[in-house]
Amino acid sequence: MIITIGGTIGSGKTTLARELAKKFKLKHISAGMIMRDMAEKTKMSVEEFSKYAESDSEIDLEIDRQQKEKVKGNCVVDGRLSGHFLNADLKIWLKAPIDIRIDRIAERDKKTKEDAKKDLIDRENSERKRYMEVYGINIDDMSIYDLVIDSNRFNVESIAEIVSTAVKNI
């Protein structure tokens, strides 16, 4: 079984993926971690690296190549575009209001809310532009997803239960 989890920045993709990996005994693959590793190797922040990727489409292609390469057997994959590239049994999209996502990012990355908001908006704009230019993908089109869940309305355990119900009906 392959489950993909896409979503807006700070919506809880990785948190849910970890929970599902544990619950269903699946391997966890994170496109975000691949990008973070690449950014770290170039000594850039994720936001700087995202902006840099606008000038080099090979960066996104490499992230996607590494992601696909790691998908073998049963796994849960979190990444904004994973649902577009992988033949998954279940495709999930998480969303949350921007103020909630800003709070989560500020706490996770130890930033002020102002810095978190600026970084989130800059990164989302950069990614939206790159995904359209590189792949022709409108990231705001939810039509490929089996479930779209507001992670502000439910905690991770509740979302995992919703997904469990969906998995039982696949």
pLDDT band at 110 (very low <50, low <70, confident <90, very high): very high
Local confidence band at 18 (pLDDT 50, 70, 90 cut-offs): very high
Of 49, 92, 87, 50, the C-alpha closest to 68 is: 87
What's the average model confidence in pLDDT over 41-60?
A: 87
Rounded to two decimals, the pTM is: 0.88
| Residue 16 belongs to domain spanning | 2-168
122's CB contacts (< 8 A; 6+ apart) are 47, 50, 51
> Any idea what the CATH number is for the domain that residue 52 is in?
3.40.50.300
Residues contacting 87, CB < 8 A, separation 6+: 2
* Positive or negative: CA dihedral 49, 42, 83, 132: positive
Give the ranges where the chain is alpha helix by DSSP (H): 13-24, 31-41, 46-53, 57-70, 82-85, 98-109, 113-135, 156-168
**What DSSP assignment string belongs to 64-111?**
HHHHHHH--SSEEEE-TTHHHHS--SEEEEEE--HHHHHHHHHHHHT-
**Token digits for 130?**
């790159």
Contacts (Cβ under 8 Å, ≥6 apart) of 159: 12, 16, 19, 94, 149, 151
pLDDT of residue 89: 96
pLDDT beyond 90 at 77: yes
* Average pLDDT in the chain: 93
Nearest to 104 by CA among 8, 6, 3, 5: 8
Number of domains composing the chain? 1
